[in-house]
Amino acid sequence: MNDFQSFEILSGNRDKGMVILGDHAMRRLPETYGRLGLPETAFSRHIAYDIGIEGLCRALSARLDVPAVLGGFSRLLIDPNRGEDDPTLIMKISDGAIIPGNHPISEEEWNYRIETFHRPYHRAVSETIASVAAATGKAPLVLSLHSFTPFWKGVPRPWHASVLWDSDDRAVLPLLAKLGANTDLVIGDNEPYDGALKNDTMYRHCMIKGIAHALLEVRQDLIGDEAGIAEWADRLAPIFAEMNDDPALHEYKIHSSRTGPYEDN
C-alpha cells in the first residue's frame, strides 16, 4: 500500500499561470482492495473513471507546458470530487452496479480512505496551485477536465462538451463563447450536471479562494481513443492559451456560491 500513489503531478512551467486538473483520470486500485468485488469489466466503464481524461490532461499539459494534477485512484474507491462530508464520497451502488467492497463499510475504513487517498490528492492540488501563484505573483487559471457518457438511462445526451460552474463566470463565459463559435459543436451550459456542488474540487480550491476556474466535461465517445483525444487537445489548447492571456483571469475575486455559506474541510 505504501507504494501506491494517490496522485500524479505532470510537470510544466509554473510561470505560465495555469493549472489543469483531472480528478477522475485513473481507474487504479491498491492491490489489497482487489476489484472491490466487481468484475474486471466494471473498470472499463464510466463508473470507475472518466474515460479519455487522463490522455486529454497529458496532451494539454504537454502542448501548453503547464502543470497538471491527476487523481491516481478509481472513483469507486473514494471520489476525489466530493467533500469529505458528502454521503456519496464512497458509493455503494453506481449506475446499477452494486459495489461489494464498499458495503458494509466501517467508520474506520471510511476514514482510512479519506486520509490515505482523498487528502493526499487534495494536498497535491492545493500545493500545485500555490506553487503556480507563487511563481507568477497572481492568481492562476484553473481548468478541470471531466467526461460524461453519451447516453443516460437510454436517453441520448446531445452535447459534445459542457462547461460546469457555480457563480464565478470569469473563465466560464469566454470558454463557452470560444467553444460555441464552432457551429459543428453542441455546447452545454451546466449540462448534464449542475456545477454548484459544495466542497467539490472547484469549490474547495477555487471558489472560496477567488481563483478563476471552469470545469469542462467532454462526451466520452469523442475522446475514447487516441485520435479523439488528439482532436480535442488540438481544439482546446489554443482556447486555453488565449484565456490564459487575459489578465482578468489572474485576479483574486471572491464570488458567493449558490450552494450557501462557504465551508472547507
Please report the pLDDT score of residue 96 as a whole number.
84
Q: Give CA separation, 61 vs 20, 55, 166, 188, 226, in Å.
A: 7, 10, 25, 24, 16
pTM summary value: 0.97
What domains, with CATH codes, occur in the chain? 7-250 (3.40.630.40)
For residues 207 and 258, the answer to whether their CB atoms sit within 8 Å is: no
The low-confidence residues of the chain, meaning pLDDT below 50, are: none
- Using the structure block, give the residue that is written with the C-alpha cell 475575486: 253
Residues 194, 203: Cα–Cα separation, whole Å = 13
pLDDT in tens, 82-96: 999 999 999 999 988
* Cβ-Cβ contacts under 8 Å for 166 (sequence gap 6 or more): 195, 196, 197, 202, 203, 207, 255, 257, 258, 259
* Cβ-Cβ contacts under 8 Å for 214 (sequence gap 6 or more): 143, 144, 163, 164, 165, 171, 172, 175
C-alpha cell read off for 120:
493526499
The full 3-state SS of the chain, as one line of letters, equals CCCCCCEEEECCCHHHCEEEEECCCCCCCCHHHCCCCCCHHHHHCCCCCCCCHHHHHHHHHHHHCCCEEEECCCCCCCCCCCCCCCCCCCCCEECCEECHHHCCCCHHHHHHHHHHHHHHHHHHHHHHHHHHHHHHCCCCEEEEEEEECCEECCEECCCCEEEECCCCCCCHHHHHHHHHCCCCCCEEECCCCCCCCCCCHHHHHCHHHCCCEEEEEEEHHHCCCHHHHHHHHHHHHHHHHHHHCCHHHHCCCCCCCCCCCCCCC
Residues 253, 24: Cα–Cα separation, whole Å = 27
- Using the structure block, give the residue that is written with the C-alpha cell 460552474: 165
Q: How many CB atoms lie within 10 A of CB 225?
A: 13
- Using the structure block, give the residue that is written with the C-alpha cell 470530487: 81
